[in-house]
Amino acid sequence: MKEIILIKNGELALKGQNRSNFEDILIKNIRRRLKSLGKLNIRKAQSTIYLEPAEEDYDFEEALQRVSLIFGIAGFSRACVCEKSMEDILSKAGVYLKSTMENIKTFKVEAKRADKNFPLTSPEICREMGGKILSYFPHLKVDVHNPDIVVYVEIRDFAAYIRAQQLHGAGGLPVGTAGTASILISGGIDSPVAAWTMAKRGLRLNAIHFASPPYTSARAEMKVKTLLSKVARYSGTINLAIVPFTEIQDQIAEHCPEDYFTLIMRRMMMRISEKIARDSGSLALITGESLGQVASQTLPALVSTDSVVNMPVLRPLIGMDKEEIISISRNIDTFETSILPYEDCCTVFTPKHPKTRPTLELCENAEKGLDIDNLIEKAISETVYTYID
Amino acid sequence: MYLILYIESVDFLERIVYLDNSATTKPCKRSVEYINKALTENWGNPSSLHSFGFSAELSMNEAREKIAKKISAETNEIIFTGSGTEANNTAIMAVSNSRAKKIITSSIEHPSVLETIKKLELNGFEVVRLSCDKSGVIDLDELENEVDENTALVSIMLVNNEVGSVQPIKEAVKIVKSKSAKTLFHCDAVQAFGKMPINVRNLGIDLMSISAHKVHGPKGIGGLYCKKGVNLKPFITGGGQERGLRSGTESTPLIMGFMGAVENLGDINKELGKIKEINEYARECFEKDDNIFINSPENALPFILNISVLGYKSETLLHFLENENIFVSSGSACAKGEQSYVLKALGLDKPRSDSALRLSFSRDNTKEDIDLLYSALKKAMGKIRRSDK
């Protein structure tokens, strides 16, 4: 029995003139994400995308799994392909619906007749199908108001379909429709969640990671790559820049007052990130900051870090509690990796009593001893780039 | 992929100073040769009835005999297991259904002992974890007070894996057996086997765990000494290999590798003397330095020397040293994790355990290695910023 995947795109329907552009990007993303599974025909009709495997032993379950992670898809379903005759539809229904219908009590049938040449009207299709299902599965009852499951019969121009289960898509907008931004990723719980959240709104991702060997290790870098590869299941390929940061941290520790260590470090990171982001085509930075979570994430601290960049800094987690963030990180399967206990650049040289209410002036004073331009230039020139799939 | 990259960064043509021999040792030539031979020529299943299987069985029994001899046990008192951890699990889980419901262990055992006992504690066993003094040795009076007729098992390690302290096993066994003859005495000797003379008859223990890869053999093979007459329950059930105590086709290649390593051990007392010289040389070097403290007790087995370089985090130092081609272990589990429970039990404060390094020696080390390590440590102290200032 031949099966296909039917995709309903969510917000896309709202996007007016741009709609077909959005749809094209979504289809491109789907094609790219399913490419390694084998030959697949993709067809677009009446705000539905049809994915039709063109190979005998196509891994259909894996395809469903991958589709469930693609942004820009509100819901999708698997459907059985039938000939456009009532006999074929009714005979396939029994086998195709067996496993679904065995575990429920009530159902109803809805029919959609896009091809008006089909000899039966929609109510007639419903009646015939309903009767047939009741004869196949005598334990079922029809409930038109609150059924456990709705069985859809669709008569399209090219074929007829039976489907019974609507699956939730990842929602959001297709990656790439909103442009590109760069996520600052340390290896903690927050940044992968922030990256995922913004990819969900259609952003393509670049990533920037600061490494401070020997304070941080090769394993910490591997951890960041693992985290990004988990985000990439949703966002597609991510271009990662690894910036050597040891010298800057050493210089900060040597020349700046201790209570300003973290703040000045953040300011240096933002300056470097802005340059790298611009060079790689990003229009904004993304961080995993959440208001008041740590000393460097108080409002005055954010003011002082924002003041060094001329690019929007997107902070999707700013109003979230740690619990909410952790819950998303579990859902997108980054939590277990995030809590691996390796030092990251943010935990080196943590001041005992960090400044929570810095003023801009004091920050600027505190970093006077640094040769900022040279340090930044050197760090950028030694930055290494890799692609994460 | 990352691991390969990582290893490529180590230049094996340059001199490597490997001081992490309690983690694992370099497999000796003879061990590798035997493994190769068992994989390419004598690869039959020792349980097969035909001569090809019989040949494998004969080799395996030769290995069993040689390993048994090393600890003055009888040949059929050795059961091969998949690791030292599995040997510990097998020994401890053997009492899971016993009528006596008390287990006594020490607070500085290896996790494979502590965690397994914790599992039994959750199932209703009463567990006593003996404290230890500053030199990492258990209190025999405390043991005497705790042992009673209701004690199913006493499990105490011979040599501690973090600091090298040696437990008075012979005296402990005497105390246990005089108060409760039925109580089983298990000893985790993974860090002791091949590094000090062991005579199981003389010690009087019932069960003892050993492992090949700590003595220049392959990973993935361990052994459990089980005194004749001790009624052990199988931990892994199946085809009844290893006298029914450890099912699963024996890994003849790794067993032969184990034999090669044991054949290569040579005179243990002579080797111990050589390691003692290196250890004492290191102690002398470090005692001259105001910033380095020795955590291992005076009477520790000289194969392990735990030190603290005060003010420098273990993980940072470790990564600094790896760039100098010197490989050591951090004293505590990890920088962000819990303080090492062993160092805590010895009464060391947090600054000491946060900066702990474990050096562990093998016959391949020389005094020159210590010179290289010490000069690298001095270099690190000049270059890395102290985390406490």
Nearest-by-Cβ selection for A349 from B320, B335, B385: B385
pLDDT tens profile B197-211? 999 999 999 999 999
> Mapping DSSP to helix (H, G, I), strand (E, B) and coil, where does residue A355 land?
coil
pLDDT value of position B385:
82
**Pairing state between β B184-188 and B207-211:** parallel
CB neighbours of A314 closer than 8 A, spacing ≥ 6?
A: A181, A194, A198, A284, A285, A286, A287
pLDDT at B335 over 50: no
Full-model pTM = 0.83
How far is Cα A93 from Cα A160, in angstroms, rounded to an integer?
Answer: 12
Q: Which amino acid is at B13?
A: L
Task: Report strand pairing: A40-45 vs A48-53.
Answer: antiparallel
Cα-Cα-Cα-Cα torsion B248, B252, B257, B259, nearest 10 degrees, comes to 100
- Torsion angle, CA of A190/A245/A376/A317, rounded to 10 degrees? 0
Residue indicated by tokens 């802005």: A274
A153-186: pLDDT as tens digits = 999 888 899 998 889 999 999 999 999 999 999 9
CA distances from B282 to B189, B272, B366 (A): 25, 15, 10
Question: Which chain B residues are Cβ-neighbours of A347 within 8 angstroms?
Answer: 335-336
User: pLDDT digits over B293-329, tens only?
Assistant: 999 999 999 999 999 999 998 989 999 999 999 999 9
Least confident residue range of A7-16, B69-78, B122-131, B323-332 = A7-16
Across the interface, do A343 and B336 touch by the CB < 8 Å criterion? yes
pLDDT (0 to 100) of residue B187 = 98
pLDDT at B9 over 80: no
SS3 B286: helix
Q: What is the DSSP secondary structure assignment for residue B348, as one 8-state letter?
A: -
Nearest to A250 among B335, B385, B387 (CB): B385
Residues A23, A28: Cα–Cα separation, whole Å: 8
Q: What is the model's pLDDT at position B319?
A: 92
- Asked whether B203 and B167 are in contact (CB, 8 A), the reply is no
Within a 10 A sphere around the Cβ of A292, how many other Cβ atoms? 13
pLDDT band at B5 (very low <50, low <70, confident <90, very high): very low
* pLDDT > 80? residue B267: yes
Residue B266: DSSP 8-state: -
**Residue A244 φ/ψ, nearest 5 degrees:** -70, 130
Interface TM-score (ipTM) > 0.90: no
Distance from CA of B142 to the nearest CA of A (A): 36
Structure tokens at A160: 């007829």
Each residue's pLDDT tens digit, A246-298: 999 999 988 999 888 889 999 999 999 999 999 999 999 999 999 988 888 99
Q: For B37-65, what is the mean pLDDT?
A: 96
The pLDDT confidence band at residue B384, using thresholds 50, 70 and 90, is: confident
Instruction: Report the residue of chain B nearest A250, measured CA to CA.
Output: B385
List the catalytic residues of B: 334
Chain B CA closest to residue A215: B316
CB contact under 8 A, A347 and B336: yes
Q: Which H/E stretch holds residue A318?
A: none
- Whether residue B352 contacts residue B301, with contact meaning beta carbons closer than 8 Å, is answered with no
In angstroms, the CA B200 to CA B75 distance is 13
Task: Specify the pLDDT at position A341.
Answer: 79
Query: In this complex, do A215 and B322 lie within 8 Å of one another by their Cβ atoms?
Result: no
Instruction: Measure in Å the smallest separation between the Cα of A126 and chain B Cα atoms.
Output: 56
Task: Tell me the HSE value of B164 on the side-chain side, using a 13 A CA sphere.
Answer: 28
Chain B residues with CB-CB distance to A under 8 A? 2, 6, 9, 313, 315-320, 322-323, 333-337, 384-385, 387
pLDDT in tens, chain A (389 residues): 889 999 987 665 566 777 888 889 999 999 999 999 999 999 887 778 999 999 889 999 999 999 999 999 999 999 999 999 999 999 999 889 988 888 899 999 999 998 889 999 999 999 999 999 999 999 999 999 999 999 999 998 888 999 988 899 999 999 999 999 999 999 999 999 999 999 999 999 999 999 999 888 888 999 999 999 999 999 999 999 999 999 999 999 889 998 888 899 999 999 999 999 999 999 999 999 999 888 889 999 999 999 999 999 999 999 999 999 999 999 999 999 998 877 776 666 777 788 888 888 888 999 999 999 999 999 999 999 999 98
- Chain A residues inside the 8 Å CB shell of B315: 217, 342-343
